Every structure is written in C-alpha cells, then in structure tokens.
Amino acid sequence: MTTHHRRSFLGTAAGSLGLGLASLSHLLAAEQSPAPISSTSTAATTDIVGRPRLPPRARHVIYLFQNGAPTHVDLFDYKPKLRELHGQPLPESYVGGKRFSTMTGNANGKLILGNVEPFAQHGESGAWVSSLMPHTAQIADELCFIKSMHTEAVNHAPAITFMLTGSELPGRPALGAWLTYGLGSAADNLPGYVVLTSVTKGTSCGQIFYDFYWGSGFLPSRFQGVKFRGSKDPVLYLKDGPGISREFREAMLNDVTALNLQKQALSGDPEISTRIAQSEMAFRMQTSVPELTDLSGESKATLEMYGPQVEQPGSFAYNCLMARRLVERGVRSVQLMHAGWDQHNSLTTELYNQCRDTDQPSAALVKDLKQRGLLDDTLVIWGGEFGRTPFIQGDLANRPRWGRDHHPYAFTVWMAGGGVKSGVTHGASDDLGMNVLENPVHVHDLQATILHLMGIDHERLTYRFQGRQFRLTDVHGHVVHDILKHV
C-alpha cells in the first residue's frame, strides 16, 4: 500500500480533483505560523527573530546532562545520619507508600547505606562536596546547588525525556529546540543547538542516547539538535567528493535551492524551508567545523586544566572544551550527555570512574568560561534525571557490589553563571536524603527558570499543534526567583 503525506495528498487533490484547497490553506497557515511570544512587560525587548521577550540574564546554555542519575547522597547532599544509621532498616515513616522501580519494589525494611566516601566543606560558602569530586569542590563558590529537585518518573528514558522535553512520552521538543525556536541563533556558520555524547570507557551501566532527547518534536525540524560525533570528523558528509570545487558546490547548491523554492511555492511545505536552510548551513560548516575542532590554538595550560582526556574526541573532557568553543562562536544551546551513572551494583567501582572522567572537565569548563568573560552570559547546568536511594541495593556484606536504585523524590543539580547566584544552596532534603524538606523544585520549575534566565516567559513561549498551544512546561512550572541574582 502506498502512503501519502497529508500535505501532498491535499495538494494533489486540489490540483487534480479540485478538492482540499480550503483545507490545505488552513493547514499550512496553522503549521507555518507558530503562536507569537507576547509580553505585557514594558521592559520587553525584541530578539533576533523579531519576537518580544524579557531582558535576558544569559545568552547561551550548556547542559552537562549525566545520564543514569548521579547519586546525590554520595556526591553533594551530605547526610551524617546515613553514616550513623548505616546497615539499619529504613524507617517506614520515610517511605510512605512511595513508588520505586521494580528492582526495589517495596522499600520498607531496606538497609540504609552511608556515603561511600567522606565529605568536606569548601570555599567561603562552606558547601559540602564529596572527596570524589575534588575539582568541583574547588569551584564551590561559583555554584548554585539545588538540593530539593524532584521528578515523577522512576525509570531512565521517561525521566530523561521529562527533564529535557517536559513530557515523559517522546515527541515533544527538547529544551534546546525551544530555545532556538524562541531566540534563534547568533552563530552564522554553526547550528543553534548542538549535542555531544560520551560514555566512560568500559562501563557496564551505560544508557542509550535516543535521538528524541534532542529532537524538535512538533516544531519545524530545523530546530532539532545537531549531534556531533565523537571523532575527528564530527559531522558526516560535509566534505566535497574528489574533483568537486567549492565554487561548483556553491553553484549546485544555488540551483537546488531555486528548485526547492519553486516546490515550496507550490506545496507550502515548511519542511522545504528546513531543507534549504540545512543545505546552506552544511555548506558554511565545511569551513567552520574544521576550525572549531582544531585545538592547536589552545594553550597548554587550558588543555591541562580540562584533564588528560581533553584531546580524545568523544570523551567528556573533549566535549566540555568543545562546549566552550561552541558558545564562543555564538551557539545558543549545547547539550552534553554522558552515560554511565546507573550504579545499581557498582558504587564502589564505576562511581569512581564516572567522577574521575567528569569532575575535572566540568570544573574546568566553569573556570574557563569565567576567565574568558563568558560565564556571566552562559548558564551551565550539571545533573541527571533523578537521584539514587539512601538505602542499599544488594548485599551490605559485599562492598564491591554495593548499589543504589532510582530515586525521584529528592536529588541535586548545580548551576553556574548566566544570572544565577553563586556560592549558595537552595532547598534541602530530609536527614536521609529521602524526601524534599524545604523549597521543593519540580522539573517544570527548573525548566521555567532556565527559560526565564534566557529572557523567555515560559507561559508565553508556545506552539500550536493538534488544536492546542503547547509549551515546554505544559501547564505547570514556577520560576525559582530565590536563586537569581538581583539586577
């Protein structure tokens, strides 16, 4: 059976059968005219795509997403009572009928597991950081820790999708897609939204990187993230074939564009605009990408700051340096995704590897941005999809196989730069790190705050799809004003 795109069907019907003209006109108008962002604020400004918005605190976002869920109680959320009650059954009052993964089932009676390594306070802020994160500890006074995060999903893919798109189900636009839709890109020769992935070598707990984690959903596909591969040739098919000159390539592109414009005039398909824009971008990237990935101009001190893996394409360290170089060149949103944090039975082995591979580069990125004057308008976010349980998964007598299960009820993220207060901690979990105790921050609240820092009212950045206005935060979310710098 032959299938047809509804736009093609209506266009054909209109031409050959005289049917569908009114429907086609209505559909194209709805799909090509996203609902405008409006603002009643007299302080609203106009961005590069002509939509009114709020004065931005940040112009770029770098999201250091840690797939698999870092354990908050072993890294940043110090709980002395966990060590005090180590090996004792979890009090039923902390569980309260909560839902956990099928690996845990009923949490009543599970044994409490103390932090695997000691904590210490750092900087003038006195932030508690595990000895597993010595480099992050050095920048504690640059960070804003949110220790009252909570979410709704208990499994990885739905929770990651929820954190990045505002919905547990695939199909919604990712944060970076919303940002490039709402703000455009200041990069002429690079995509507005770039994604880089990495995984610690030899890990047994990697997570799958699904394309919908950086997809455009129902937004035009030109807003989707462009994934750079972890190699010296990060974007496929940019190079011209043998005997193809740049002049010939440009002339061919111009001719193809002319044909696409004719087709667009006939069909009104907005995806043709995407193809035109992407072809032109690919042509410009033939020059910009080799320059981007050429590290010969980086000083020895800078490379050493990011750690020994910085010159290995595909490593987290390399990706962190690429993130700085991307925002330097105007890229709006950079999303780094590093897998391997899913330590169900490897806290005393793979947690150490994850920290070794990510701690130094993450701290170096913040320091590098600051010393170059980029941190003030670049928002850096570090965190995963949820936390890990304060109780053990596994046998307490078998330390090499200690683990923690998924925990959506309290976890920690940190932010730096981009209009966020530095050297502060917002919110708190209870004395076991089990439940949020003060100033809860939901996933939609974090998303609303990110958009606010970028100068967008999260309630007004919408796109009409299937008869309703959609937004990143759905019908939820409140800006966390307490973590914002005063202006």
Q: What is the CATH number of the domain that holds 317?
A: 3.40.720
* DSSP 8-state code for residue 45: E
The answer to which of 225-229, 237-241, 454-458 has the lowest mean pLDDT is: 237-241
Q: Answer whether residue 124 is part of any domain.
A: yes
Q: Are 220 and 367 in contact (CB under 8 A)?
A: no
Q: Computed over its alpha carbons, how large is the radius of gyration of the chain?
A: 24
Specify the amino acid at residue 468. R
Report pLDDT digits (tens) over 32-74.
334 333 333 323 333 434 454 688 999 999 999 999 999 999 9
Cα 172 to Cα 62, 169, 223, 269, 471: the distances in Å are 20, 8, 12, 20, 9
Helices (H), 166-245: 175-183
Q: Identify the burial level of 333 via C-beta atoms within 10 angstroms of its C-beta, where 0-12 means exposed, 13-18 middle and 19 or more buried.
A: buried
The answer to which of 84-88, 259-263, 367-371, 422-426 has the lowest mean pLDDT is: 259-263
- Say what the pLDDT of residue 186 is: 83
Report pLDDT digits (tens) over 332-364.
999 999 999 999 999 999 999 999 999 999 999
Q: Are 340 and 203 in contact (CB under 8 A)?
A: yes
Q: How many Cβ atoms sit within 10 Å of the Cβ of residue 346?
A: 21
Distance (Å, whole) CA 376 – CA 374: 6
Q: Answer whether residue 24 is part of any domain.
A: no
Specify the amino acid at residue 252. M
Cα 465 to Cα 87, 101, 173: the distances in Å are 52, 33, 12
Tokens 């009650």 belong to residue: 85
Distance (Å, whole) CA 302 – CA 237: 31
Mean of pLDDT over the chain: 86
- Say what the pLDDT of residue 35 is: 39
Distance (Å, whole) CA 438 – CA 147: 9
**Which tokens is 37 given?**
């962002």
Report pLDDT digits (tens) over 115-165.
999 999 999 999 999 999 999 999 999 999 999 999 999 999 999 999 999
- Say what the pLDDT of residue 103 is: 87
Which residues neighbour 382 within 8 Å (Cβ) at sequence distance 6 or greater?
A: 64, 66, 362, 413, 414, 415
The whole-number average pLDDT for the span 370-381 is: 98
E strand or H helix that includes residue 62: strand 60-67
Q: Answer whether residue 353 is part of any domain.
A: yes
Q: Answer whether residue 19 is part of any domain.
A: no
Binned at pLDDT 50, 70 and 90, residue 16 comes out as very low
Long-range contacts of 253-260 (CB under 8 A, 24+ apart): 253/279, 253/280, 253/283
pLDDT tops 60 at residue 31: no
Nearest residue to 375 via CA among 317, 332, 416, 335 = 416
Report pLDDT digits (tens) over 459-470.
999 999 999 999
Q: Which domain does 415 fall in, by range?
A: 60-236+298-483
Query: Which bin fits 143, alpha (ψ -120 to 50), beta or left (φ > 0)?
Result: beta
Number of structural domains found in the chain = 1
- Say what the pLDDT of residue 281 is: 62
Q: Are 339 and 207 in contact (CB under 8 A)?
A: yes
Q: Can you name the residues that pair with 63 across neighbouring β-strands?
A: 335, 381
Q: Answer whether residue 444 is part of any domain.
A: yes
The whole-number average pLDDT for the span 180-201 is: 92
Which residues neighbour 221 within 8 Å (Cβ) at sequence distance 6 or greater?
A: 271, 274
- Say what the pLDDT of residue 230 is: 81
Q: Are 201 and 315 in contact (CB under 8 A)?
A: no
Q: Answer whether residue 319 is part of any domain.
A: yes
Q: Answer whether residue 474 is part of any domain.
A: yes
Distance (Å, whole) CA 123 – CA 126: 5
Q: Answer whether residue 362 is part of any domain.
A: yes
The answer to which of 64-78, 96-110, 192-206, 249-263 has the lowest mean pLDDT is: 249-263
Query: Which bin fits 148, alpha (ψ -120 to 50), beta or left (φ > 0)?
Result: alpha
